[in-house]
Amino acid sequence: MAADRPTVTLVTGAATGIGAALCRRLAGPDVALVMGTSSNAAGLAAVAKDCQAKGAQVATRVGDLRRPATVTSLVDLARKTYGGIDHLVAVAGFADRRPVGKLDSQGFVDSVRVVETAFLELVTAALDDLRASPRGRVVAVSTFLAHCFSLVGGRYPASAAAKAGLEALAKSLAAQLARDGCTVNCVAPGYVRKDEESGHSSLSDAEWRRIASVVPMGRLAEPDEVAATIAFLLSDDAAYITGQVIHVNGGLTL
């Protein structure tokens, strides 16, 4: 890879929430962002505009991660536009609140497909780039529900199972890429405040207030607080951190 090209970061789920906050935080000169979303083209365009205003180069793609062609197109876009990939951040996912008994097998498969299988396909497609980059980094966004189940807010069994598998896959990849100097880590948020861009929530306002009351710090996380942890793991300062799951949850799993 050319040493004089910008640092290239591919982010899925970039139109809202944590993914959008991360792109805005990373944006600046000598940075290229390849940003994907499943369907929120307007949200992605707004984030892209903000990032470009900070001097970042931006390429975007709208497509469903349940389709392998979407995954391939994201990696191809990064290579054709900027010459390769240095950082891969998998944020995309969705909340399926249905409990066992109401959750059907297709819903379970969809969660695994978007969270776990798409991550496997992304890192497989980008593997040569990540190994070759002197600043190779992979971060997968998990959830506290891969570790414990709150008595408020629902259990989300399909989402929890998919994220738990994501963490195991990421740790295996961390061991595989360690000698190449490429780090692989997970960030597991607690309950995160929905930003105004998202326009929807799987919980009511009353449920969110109840959840905030049981978090030891007494509030929900801001998307940018989770993004800050991801940005650190992408930085040179985190070059000796790999195979870890970093919890950002205000003490929820204490």
- Could you give the residue numbers annotated as active site? 156
Q: Are strands 183-189 and 245-248 parallel, antiparallel or unpaired?
A: parallel
